[in-house]
Amino acid sequence: MTTTTGKVYLVGAGPGDPELITVKGLRVLRSADVVVYDRLAPAALLDEAPAAAERVDVGKLPQRHRLSQDGINILLVERALAGQTVVRLKGGDPLVFGRGGEEALACFAAGVPFEIVPGVSSAVAVPAYAGIPVTQRNVARSFIVFTGHEDPDSDENAVDYAALAQVDTLVALMGAYHLPKITEKLIAAGKAPTTPAACIEWGTTAHQRVVTATLATIAQAAAEADFKPPSITVIGEVVALRDAGMRWFD
C-alpha cells in the first residue's frame, strides 16, 4: 500500500481550443495518474494523459452537476492521500470563476500538496477569437469580467451594475440564461442602449458562433440564434472592431 502523499495540480485547460493549454499544463497532464475533468475541458486533451491514467468526469453542466463541489474536493484529497498524481483539468483559468480556489483550500486543509497551473482565460481569449479586443487604444482603457450565472434580481446578488456601467468593456461569463435581465440592469444603471454587444458561443472551437447587436437587442438576438452555454457576452465599443477588420477566426 502506498503511504507517500501524492499531489494535486489545478490546471487551466484554456478556453476550448486544445492548443491553447500552456506548455506546463500539458507536461503535468502527461504525468497524471488521475484526471478529474468537467465539460469545459477540451476533450482532445484527455488523450494527452497516459493511457493507464484514470479519467473521472465530474460533469458541471449548468444547473446539473454529476458531482457536488464538496464531492470533487473530497475526491481530489482522497486520491492524493493515496499517493497519486491528480490533475484537476478545468476550462479556462482555474481561478477565474472556476472554483479552483475552493479546491486549493480543501487540499491545504487536508495537508495535501498542490500546485496551481494558470490557464488562458476564456474572458479574453474567446473575444479575441471573435475579433474583439477587450482593450484598444482610444477606444477602451478598462475592462471587467463578471459572472452572469447569478440571478440579477436575487437579494444575494453582489454585482454592482451601477459600477459596471462606468467600465469601457464588460465581459459576462456564464450569462446566457440571465442575459435579458443583465442587459436591463445595465441600461437602467446608465449604460447606453446603443452600446455594441456580442454573444459568442463555444468560443475558440470549431463550433464557435457569434452574433452582434446592441446592448438593448443582444438578448433577443442571442435567443433568436438559439445560443446555449457555454457562451460569453461582450459589451462595449470594442465590439465594433470585429467588423472593422479584426474578424479572423470565422
Burial 44-79 (b: 16+ CB within 10 A, else e): ebbebbeeebeebebebeeeeeebeeeebbebbbeb
Q: Which of 7, 17, 93, 174 is catalytic?
A: 174
Which one of the listed residues 7, 17, 33, 60 is annotated catalytic?
Answer: 60
Q: How many whole angstroms from its chain centre is CA 44?
A: 17
The three grid cell numbers given for residue 22, joined into one nine-digit string: 500552456
Beta-sheet strand order (sheet of 231-235)? 143-147, 169-173, 231-235, 196-201, 209-214
In the annotation, is 60 catalytic? yes
174 is catalytic: yes
DSSP string, 34-54: EEEE-TTS-GGGGGGS-TTSE
- Do the Cβ atoms of 182 and 233 come closer than 8 Å? yes
Contact 12, 118 (CB under 8 A): yes
Which residue is associated with the grid cell 507536461? 27
Of 38, 93, 185, 191, which is the active-site residue?
Answer: 38
User: Does 246 qualify as catalytic in the annotation?
Assistant: no
Cα torsion 6, 98, 31, 3 to 10°: value is: 10
Q: Are 223 and 239 in contact, with CB atoms under 8 Å apart? A: no
Mind telling me the catalytic residues?
Answer: 38, 60, 174
